[in-house]
Amino acid sequence: MCGILAVLGCADDTQGKRVRVLELSRRLKHRGPDWSGMHQVGDCYLSHQRLAIIDPASGDQPLYNEDKSIVVTVNGEIYNHEQLRAQLSSHTFRTGSDCEVIAHLYEEHGENFIDMLDGVFSFVLLDTRDNSFIAARDAIGVTPLYIGWGIDGSVWISSEMKGLNDDCEHFEIFPPGHLYSSKQGGFKRWYNPPWFSEVIPSVPYDPLALRKAFEKAVVKRLMTDVPFGVLLSGGLDSSLVAAVTVRHLAGTKAAKRWGTKLHSFCVGLEGSPDLKAAKEVANYLGTMHHEFTFTVQVASMSSSMLHLLTIPD
């Protein structure tokens, strides 16, 4: 997870306003400890708190197109970024970040590119050529995003409410599967799958197709340039995810650098069935298992943890 904060059209480009936006951005620091970045164009501010997963060396944000006329701050992962880069062969990329494709796709297609992205994401993009902007959230809202409005008519967008609540007259959840456009002056649904219709066509049960779809969903999420692991409770869902990961890990870039031994993690109360079941699954799959016991001391930190979390991410 990363943290994004954008303040757009606030009619205040003073140093004091910049300092204020930086202060608010630091409230999201826990979401991304690896880098803090900001881009200001007049009365528009885009800031970013980065958790480095893809291209940790050069993928700092905000991200740009070739001449920096398009600026974007993103929280998310674009699983099909390599295929999209191939389609954008006439463009010059500055980084290896999976999210940089967003700036170049906008150059090619304007606002009509969101459904080309296969991933989980929330982003704000500023077109400095006409000072217009768009913001979008992934299809089912995996990444958190909120939008607010200042008393001066400014638009505020943040990964968490704590970036908005002190400075906005009103704020709300940014709806999943939607695009906000300053040119259109409001929201537009970009995610419109056929099954949104009330009349849902039925198809015969096909366990093989279900298995292939599940494996594909897991494998495309193994895209990372840093070590990773799986959360394992010993239940059906997490055990299946871990099993597919073990099977496909050897073919990933991460395995070539960090090894083919999958790390699994479980947190639970001492003697809990989750800890026991997770250990049994880990032993069966041959993972490097890490077990953490939830204690009274950890429970006493609940107020600190609640401060860090707005909604599950």
Residue with tokens 């070739």: 66
Q: How far apart are the first and last CA of the chain?
A: 7
Rg of the Cα atoms in the chain: 21
Tokens of 40: 């200001």
Active site amino acids:
2
Query: Rounded to 5 degrees, what are φ and ψ at 158?
Result: -150, 150
